[in-house]
Chain A
Amino acid sequence: MNNVSFDPLIHAQNRLQICAILAATAEIEFKVLREKLEVSDSVLSKHLKALEDAQYLCAQKRSNMGRQRTWLSLSKTGREAYNGHLAALRNIVGSV
């Protein structure tokens, strides 16, 4: 059973979308995530930093074919928080 808790950090629109995308993948590259969300590098970096500070996100820089790529994934804590937040939203909708 997921820990049901509303998390304002995740609930911000862009961060909720980031978490939803990361939850569906094992890892995603920064550039792909930016294109998917249609935001600028700086806006995405700001949201990622907030999630990283809360230890919800793991960012790893890896070099591939001479090009450095930043791979992003949800941490175990982040995945639990996201699932808990989803459960909380469903509870709010269900309790009406």
Chain B
Amino acid sequence: MKNKEQNISAEEAKLALDNLANIDSSTNKLIRPPLWLTVIMAFFYGMMTFSWASTRHENLWMLGLIISSICFLASVAFYLYSSHLLGIKPKVLPKSRAECFYHLLSGIFFGAVIILTRALSVNGFEYSAYIGGLLNAIVLAYLLHHYSTGNYIKDNGNHE
């Protein structure tokens, strides 16, 4: 079925790539969570980081960590379920090498922030909990908004 011969010009190829960029962009906008849900997810993720850094033995922040974790997971579940009802299933696991790389990098970043924040907070730098929580929340919101499928969304506004 597959004919490996190419018989298109560079202009046609460029046009096809431009069309694909527009399709990718509009598809990603369709898939990504709405802004209010992105803010909620990012808030609870930031709270998880903050609570974990502030936890000392069995103080009240342990409760904060449990509650924020439950709320974060609930918001993720809500996003996946509502997408399913709308007829779209977002990718949870990476499907290509580029997506694997993206997931790995973001995992390393979030892990490093969580560990560093906790270590600095325990060693007396109390403000690290605020900084780490805020940093993780902002980065998660940014990634959810722009990289919801592992592909960067060009916000050119020429579609939809």
Further 6 A-B residue pairs, CB within 8 A, beyond A28-B89, A29-B87, A95-B10: A7-B3, A20-B23, A25-B88, A25-B91, A26-B95, A36-B30
Binding site for A on B (CB under 8 A): 1-6, 8-10, 13-14, 16-17, 19-20, 23-24, 26-28, 30-31, 86-92, 95-97, 149, 151
Give the number of A-B contacts (CB < 8 Å): 93
Fill in one digit per residue for A4-21: 1 if any B CB lies within 8 Å of its CB, else 0.
011111010100110011
Partner of A26, one of B30, B86, B92: B92
CA distance A21 to B3 in the complex (A): 23
Query: Could you say which residues of chain B place their CB within 8 Å of the CB of A6?
Result: 4-6, 8
A21 touching B23, Cβ below 8 Å: yes
8 A-B residue pairs with Cβ-Cβ distance under 8 Å, sorted by A, are: A5-B4, A6-B4, A9-B1, A16-B16, A20-B23, A32-B87, A53-B1, A81-B2
A17 to B10, CA, bound (A): 19
- Chain A: interface residue count, which band? 35 or more
Q: A7-B2, A25-B91 are in contact. Are A89 and B28 (CB under 8 A)?
A: no
> Is the beta-carbon distance between B90 and A25 smaller than 8 angstroms?
yes
Interface SS of A by simple majority: helix
List of A residues within 8 angstroms of B31 by Cβ? 24-25
**Which of chain B's residues have a CB closer than 8 A to the CB of A54?**
1-2
**Nearest 9 A-B pairs (CB), nearest first?**
A29-B87, A32-B87, A6-B6, A92-B13, A27-B89, A96-B10, A26-B89, A20-B23, A24-B27
